[in-house]
Amino acid sequence: MNSVASEATTEAPVLFEERIAANGLRLGIATLNAPKTLNGLSLDMARLLDARLDAWAADEAIAVVVLQGAGEKAFCAGGDLQGLYRSMLDYRANGGSDIRDNAYARDFFAIEYRLDYRIHTYPKPVLCWGHGIVMGGGIGLMAGASHRVVTERSRLAMPEITVGLYPDVGGSWLLNKVPDHAGLFLALTGAPLSAGDAIYAGLADHYLPDAQRQAVYSALLQVAWSADATHNHECLSTLLALHADVPSPGPLQAHRELLAQVCAHNDLDAVVAAILTHDSDDTWLSNARQTLASGAPGSARLAFELQRRAASLSLADTFLLEYLVSLHCAAHGDFAEGIRALLIDKDRQPHWRPATLAEATSAWADTFFVAPWAHGQHPLADLGSDSHTRTSA
C-alpha cells in the first residue's frame, strides 16, 4: 500500500499519514495516538489535528480524510480532564474572579470546539472509524464526520453528569435531534449506546465489523476519486454500504415508548422524578437511574437549560453558548469536584454544590449564561463565518 508523508515518530500524540489511491489522489489518515489514556483528547492533540485538517482541506490532492484511534479499546474516551483539573486548582488558588483567567480552560475549549465545528463543516468527506469507547470529546470529533462507522464493540455516551459538567462539544444541539426527545434522557443519565442505538440516535451512519477495517481502507485506495466533493461523498457512501451490516437494536430503541413518555414533561423536576421512580429490573435502565441519582444536580439543570436554548440555535451559536457555560463550569461549578472524586482521589464521593435538584434552579443556572465580554467580542464569534458547507452524504 503506497504511503507518503507519515509522522516521523510513533510517539506523537496524533499520527498523520497520506496514502496514494489508484488515480494519484490521496487519503489523509489521522490517528489519535494515546491508547494508554483511551485516546483522550489533549490540547496538543486538538491543535495538531485542527492544523492538519485545515491543511488537508486546502490540498487538492487530498480526496478523503479518515479519523481513527490507536489501540483496540477506544476511538476517543473524552477530553483531557487531568489537565483541566490542574488548571481549575490553579485558578482557584490564585483567587480567579473572571472566567477568562483560566488560560488552559479558555484555550482548550476554544480549540476543541473550533475543531469539532471544522469537522461538521468540512468540505471533503470525513470517515470516522468509531470503534470501542466514544465518549464526551470523542463524540465531538465523531459527530460531525460525514461518514461515521460504528462496530460491534462501539459504545457511545455523554456521561458528563458524573464529573459535574454537561454534554458539551455540540451535545446540546446533537442530543436535541435524538428521536422522541430521548436526548434529554441520555444527557441526564449518561446511558451508553450500542452500535444500533448510535445509528438510531443519529450519532452514527454505518455498522461494520472492525475486522473489515483494513479491507475498507484497501478498497478506498481503489476508488476513482475526483476533485468533486459531491462525487467523493457518493463514492464513499457506496463503498461503506457494500461492507455494512445491519446492527441489532439496542435498549434505547427497546425502551423507546417509555423514554418518550418520561421525556415529554416540560419541567426538569418531573422528568427526573419519572426516571428515578420508574421500577424496572432492566440493567440499562437501572444503571441509568443510578447514574442520575449520584450525578451532579447542577449538571442535570445545565443540560436541560442548554438543550432548551439550543433548540432554536444553529450549531455555531450552540458552540458559542457552550463555550461560555463551560468556562463558568471550570471557574465555579462542580467540574473540579467531579474530576477529583472520579479520577484524582477516586473516592467516588463527590460533594455536589448544589446538592439537590431543588437547589439547582433555573435562576441558579442563569448565572452560567452571564458573558464577561461585550456584544460581538465572544472568542468564537467568527465561528462559521469562513466555513464551507459540507455536502451531505
pLDDT digits (tens, 9 = 90+) for 41-79: 999 999 999 999 999 999 999 999 999 999 999 999 999
Confidence of residue 384 (pLDDT cuts 50, 70, 90): confident
Three cell numbers at 364? 441558579
- HEC string for 304-341: HHHHHHHCCCCHHHHHHHHHHHHHHHHHHCCHHHHHHH
Confidence of residue 11 (pLDDT cuts 50, 70, 90): confident
Residue 250 has pLDDT above 90, yes or no: yes
pLDDT digits (tens, 9 = 90+) for 95-134: 999 999 999 999 999 999 999 999 999 999 999 999 999 9
- Say if CB 307 and CB 188 are below 8 A apart: no
pLDDT value at position 62?
98
Stretch 215-237: mean pLDDT: 97
Distance CA 250, CA 248 (A): 6
Q: Does domain 3-369 have CATH number 3.90.226.10?
A: yes
* DSSP string for 277-312: H-----HHHHHHHHHHHHS-HHHHHHHHHHHHHHTT
Domain boundaries, the chain: 3-369
Determine whether 50 is exposed, middle or buried from the number of CB atoms within 10 Å of its CB (0-12, 13-18, 19+): middle
Distance CA 195, CA 200 (A): 9
Give the position of cell 461518514: 147
Q: Tell me the whole-structure pTM to 2 decimals.
A: 0.95
Backbone phi, psi, residue 365, to 5°: -65, -30
Give the position of cell 454534554: 167
Stretch 136-152: mean pLDDT: 98
- Say if CB 89 and CB 336 are below 8 A apart: yes
- Say if CB 174 and CB 203 are below 8 A apart: yes
Residue 6 has pLDDT above 70, yes or no: no
Backbone angle region of 384, left / alpha / beta, with phi > 0 → left and psi within -120 to 50 → alpha: left
pLDDT value at position 9?
58
Distance CA 15, CA 45 (A): 10
Percent of the chain whose predicted confidence (pLDDT) is above 70: 95
